Amino acid sequence: MEAEFWLERWRDGRIGFHQTRITPLLQKYWPSLGLPAGCTVMVPLCGKSLDMIWLAEQGYRVLGVELAELAVQQFFAENELPVATRQSSMGVHYVSDRIEIICGDIFGVDAATLGGCLGAYDRAALVALPAGMRQRYVDHVYGRLSDDYRGLLLTLDYPQNELEGPPFSVADEEVQRLFSAHSRALAIDRRDILEKDPKFQSQGVTRLDTVVYRLERREAPVTAP
């Protein structure tokens, strides 16, 4: 999936993936992670998600990463947030109180920045990536987060042959494989949402589940002396 694909979607306003409300599953399950207020939460491929507003209101520092500058600008403008900018090797940093968004490539975010994130929230990042990019993404981001990080991952599970993504289907077997080297991915909620999604219905999709995973660092294996 080339960067230009997403930049064009934002330029053309074809952003059906953007939600105009806080994600209910985030509100339901985030408190169960027990993350301390004030810690930094990574939100990869964040777009202009209102979920970042909610996380900041809970007392967390939010670090989003988004390729499309238009999305970042719209986020701060639509939420009437004063913003300051600065440049780094990772891109342009837009900062407003507890929320910071790096306008740049997620693969350009360095290990020190990722390592400072104790939390992670992924609603639309993994499912936006084609199969060939997912392992690199998961290892680059989740393999470098804080050693005791905890997070939520939301995926979609549907017959991929029935609809060309994005958003793509990422079945449980693939989630487990992608994260197995460094993280635990525990499915804590699965629900059928096909009746609530006319777009998928109109495309002839016969099954559509959304799955919530709790993510945490897998303990390193103990090696014999």
Q: Cβ(135)–Cβ(60) under 8 Å?
A: no
Residue 66 counted as an annotated binding residue: yes
Residue 45 counted as an annotated binding residue: yes
Residue 123 counted as an annotated binding residue: yes
Rg (CA), the chain: 17
Residue 10 counted as an annotated binding residue: yes
Annotated binding site: 10, 45, 66, 123
Annotated binding site for S-adenosyl-L-methionine: 10, 45, 66, 123
